[in-house]
Structure 1
């Protein structure tokens, strides 16, 4: 909003008013325009990304018996995704810097959508491992590419809310994907000679390919290419980003690989994602173990924790930006997630209490993921941001191999996932404590 006063000569003068963060309303309106242009589309892409990554948790409900797979084989196969993901993460982000965001994001999405659909052809443990590995290679770089892309548009003081809105794609993939996956397994089983889990992979891979093609035409590589903004708006955005880069000591490609702060952040993320992937891959199984049998009902119930987590992520992100405080918002979310997992184990045989506990666990765990990604860009700039963000995500992805295999192995040995879930809870506590080893002055705004 702009107010107009009259100076001594009688000429009207535009006076932009200030919002609570000291920005002009004109600036805030421009950032709102950018957010509404980019975030809804990127959010849809992330929903597809996460659905295609973790829908194997629903496919497991049928494919294990169809293909005679053990729990340990499933756990290793689910984790093989992250081997390919880890190996190609950093090269993928560096390529994006050279060829541009829209081309590379489009390439990533189309290839992983096709490969996700091809999961329908899995018949043996070996083919399961190979396809999950190739899927990880195809999707490598997508998340760090988007997170890096957001730094091209938004300064650090605005990234808490924006990152949280984008990251709500994780829980919303559960809200949408849970019931949809349950319905596909329930309704499509045996249709045209295909099992329900085969239809699951095919039908959930198609939207990803479509959005990948759209990304090439919809996204702009940089602010200067955004014809939907006025020249004045583009200048203001670029000026704010330039100012935001000042004071960041880490800019070189080498900094992103070798600086101790980057490695500390990476291991903090590893501990948080242990909880994330444990819940993502095993929530349907945990719900089933509490006494729910029908795949459709399992899908509907798994949507509840993810819906609550979506709200929690937005609330925590706004609070973090408003207060300019990052560490406590991140650590407390991890502690809440750990308590939720603990109570879900203590009351595993009571569906209602277990679901309430899992809901709080998911709210806390999802909030740690969105809040964590506000931290790296506060200390990284330039090439260091490209490599550092990719490195942190790569190391965090190791948990995608460890946590599902750990739970699968524990269940095979003990016939229960309880001890494995307790290990995931402990990892969240460790991650929360490590947050406080980062000086507040580096990350708070």
Structure 2
């Protein structure tokens, strides 16, 4: 029923009219001047400047309004609401709205700017619309638009296939309770009395604050084209930020712990939560903490937000088990990994006369291929006998060098080298005839 708010002459058109759509969807008289040029508030809220034009004709052409960005023209003619109901909608919250600051600023008005007076008028209009739709539907109680005051009524109306309408409130100075020097201008008794009144009117939903700070709550402010106008009614707020947790488990460091929040502003402040203790071995846990923003010039204005920090130890029990498992695997691999083979070689005797023989004895890692050769490259032995011996005849004198190697699983042993000294045999002198006789 917002067509009655802000003095009743800001809003152009209304949800219904006893004489039908031709009377309900008409533009405001000041809008009709110079093809919409007189619609200063419409132009300002739509484009941010007071200058502009629009087609003042609503029904039946609907050239320029209704429109999503047109805040001063009717956008919910009851037939459009009926279309939504026929499409399946079964519950609606209808807010009674007012803003006495903007109402006092606008020069044209026929209704009071007092919030509660305006809300009573709009609640009465909701009842009138219900009776009007009843009349269109055949009589009292037969219309599809039904105002409900409790869940049982709402369910009954919905089960009948009708639209359950909940009456709510969204206004700037609820119960006439404004704020002067950060002090509410009302008492608890006054609030209780007016709560009873609006409940008797049928109100079942309520927002404590709208565009401006009041005695019950504060606002963040508006953004967009209407923000400069709306935010004139609010002031900047100095705020102190603190954080705590029930266990005092963390130290909290704010990027800024004192900030100034202007009307319509939003500020992001980084807070770092540092755990006081970091266990080496423990399960992860969640530390719940609360960040409080409190006005420094009045203690009764504050808000809080909760968050959680996941603290993890250097090692969790599961991580420790996993590391031990990896250690066991690594140990098993180290023990069972392929080993480089070894080989030893012995020649007996180590000194020999040319033409004599020596016995070559070797011992290599099991499963190794053994290869033994001399310094000339002549193969003494090549085979898979890892431990064995072989006789070798020395055919020359001098130092003989023998090299033994072993191979297993693609790995080669460090070569083993031995030497044998071979001497030339002694040459017997030719025979000499010392005496000769003949008979």
User: Which TM-score applies when normalising by structure 1?
Assistant: 0.20
Bigger Cα Rg: 2
Per residue, is there more helix in 1 or in 2?
A: 1
Per residue, is there more strand in 1 or in 2?
A: 2
User: Which TM-score applies when normalising by structure 2?
Assistant: 0.20
Q: Tell me: higher relative CO, structure 1 or 2? Use CA pairs within 8 A at least 6 residues apart.
A: 1
